């Protein structure tokens, strides 16, 4: 099948590469000429395990190509996927300018039947606006061509996106046309052969499903973080509590790991957007508001622990930070807890020596050169000259460090662990003071 994807960002590139790998002819289009030039030169502008090889293989076989020519892109594919960004507006709502601009472009160039699919995460009712935008562009041309609009939200986890696409838990399709549903089943058949995983529903239900999924996962994280803070006050160990409740199959172990808060491009944006959608519909989303508030507070927990430990005197101190990305296996720093920590440390007069296996370049792009930030080439190098260590991301290489060296190199043998990587008893035996989330030592308020 022939597929066009508008947007060569995270969702567009993963979707395009995976569809091409199944034998489809995929054309990715973007208005960013520099990005397209990089992709055509064999460079992949995002970090996702396995994506470089997948793109290279399918580009070499002629199944995956990149262009800035929107007219050629509309002509290419039966399926016209919209996978552009929907950044949060100032009021928390999703900014749909890019989505609607693509819809207009499709309408301006439509010359035969197409299926217009929204992969972007959008508020309920967006498909109606996409349909109206395409229709308006056709009317302006005095042209009459049939088209269908489909909601086909993505459920890709950064760091495991290729596996999520190749072996999906579900494929959600929102459409009011049974014929279109059959065409989508054919497109996704290579990925759903072992089990029927396609869920066909109406457009608005499909749009809400994506927001509901992310909001539910964010709720689990914030609830667990609130429990962790309570466990700390009560003298309980949240990791033992987690094992106790996770063993209940009604709860499960997924997304009940306490930490320094969630980040990334999805959860923070989508919780706010769903909360705004609720207000626009005349409803009060009190749980969503609490989820967001708890998360914002949780992102400051590590800084508060460091501040209390040093008696509020952080000026002139240096803190080593392990992990900058919001989660492992990505270089994405959007809404990352590490950014909140570093910026609070700088505001208090402290310096940072930071290390991340893949996100150093992104950190340098965001913060540039500054005297209070040293971006290091290894975890060990970050400890040099530091007064304390803070851990923000649970990268695998941080799980079993040289504790003896850590104790010796740090000016004060103290670790503030935002991901609960170590056992408090082990740290005590190593002579390292250990402050984690809902376990370990507790500092007086």
Catalytic status, residue 376 = no
Structure token digits, residue 323 = 């992990």
Give the pairing type, strands 414-417 and 388-391: parallel
Q: Contact 158/332 with Cβ under 8 angstroms?
A: yes
Distance CA 410, CA 443 (A): 20
Give the pairing type, strands 171-174 and 373-375: unpaired
For 191: left if phi > 0, alpha if psi spans -120 to 50, otherwise beta; the answer is alpha
Which of 18, 266, 376, 392 is labelled catalytic?
A: 266
Bridge partners for 118 per DSSP: 82, 151
Distance CA 422, CA 230 (A): 20
Give the pairing type, strands 198-201 and 373-375: unpaired
Residue among 66, 50, 60, 41 at smallest CA distance from 18: 50
Bridge partners for 29 per DSSP: 6, 67
Distance of alpha carbon 242 from its chain centroid, rounded? 24
Q: Is residue 151 helix, strand or coil?
A: strand
| Cα four-point dihedral sign 442, 230, 268, 93 | negative
Q: Is residue 103 helix, strand or coil?
A: helix
Enumerate the active-site residues: 266
């Amino acid at each position: 099948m022939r597929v066009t994807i508008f947007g060569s960002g995270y969702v567009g590139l993963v979707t395009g590469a995976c569809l091409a790998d199944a034998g489809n002819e995929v054309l990715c289009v973007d208005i960013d000429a520099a990005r397209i030039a990089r992709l055509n030169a064999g460079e992949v502008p995002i970090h996702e395990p396995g994506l470089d090889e997948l793109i290279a293989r399918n580009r070499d076989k002629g199944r995956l190509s990149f262009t800035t020519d929107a007219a050629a892109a509309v002509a290419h594919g039966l399926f016209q996927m919209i996978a552009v960004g929907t950044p949060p507006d100032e009021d928390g709502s999703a900014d749909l300018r890019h989505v609607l601009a693509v819809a207009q472009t499709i309408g301006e160039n439509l010359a035969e039947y197409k299926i217009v699919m929204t992969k972007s995460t959008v508020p309920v009712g967006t498909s109606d606006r996409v349909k109206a935008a395409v229709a308006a562009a056709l009317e302006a041309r005095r042209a009459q061509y049939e088209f269908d609009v489909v909601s086909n939200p993505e459920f890709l986890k950064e760091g495991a996106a290729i596996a999520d696409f190749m072996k999906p838990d579900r494929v959600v399709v929102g459409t009011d046309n049974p014929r279109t549903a059959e065409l989508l089943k054919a497109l996704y058949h290579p990925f759903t052969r072992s089990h029927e995983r396609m869920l066909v529903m109406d457009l608005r239900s499909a749009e809400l499903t994506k927001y509901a999924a992310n909001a539910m996962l964010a709720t689990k994280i914030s609830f667990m973080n609130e429990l962790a803070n309570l466990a700390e006050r009560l003298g309980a160990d949240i990791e033992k509590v987690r094992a106790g409740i996770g063993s209940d199959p009604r709860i499960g172990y997924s997304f009940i790991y306490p930490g320094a808060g969630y980040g990334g491009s999805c959860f923070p944006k989508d919780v706010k957007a769903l909360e705004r959608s609720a207000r626009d519909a005349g409803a009060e989303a009190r749980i969503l508001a609490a989820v967001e508030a708890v998360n914002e507070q949780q992102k400051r927990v590590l800084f508060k622990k460091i501040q209390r430990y040093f008696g509020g005197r952080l000026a002139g101190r240096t803190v080593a930070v392990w992990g900058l990305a919001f989660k492992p296996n990505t270089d994405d720093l959007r809404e990352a807890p590490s950014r909140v920590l570093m910026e609070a440390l700088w505001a208090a007069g402290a310096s940072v020596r930071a290390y991340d296996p893949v996100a150093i370049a992104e950190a340098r792009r965001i913060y540039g050169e500054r005297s209070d930030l040293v971006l290091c080439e290894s975890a060990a190098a970050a400890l040099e000259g530091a007064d304390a260590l803070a851990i923000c991301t649970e990268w695998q290489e941080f799980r079993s460090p040289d504790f003896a060296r850590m104790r010796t190199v740090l000016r004060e043998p103290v670790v503030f662990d935002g991901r609960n990587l170590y056992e408090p008893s082990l740290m005590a035996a190593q002579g390292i003071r250990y402050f984690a989330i809902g376990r370990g030592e507790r500092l007086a308020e």
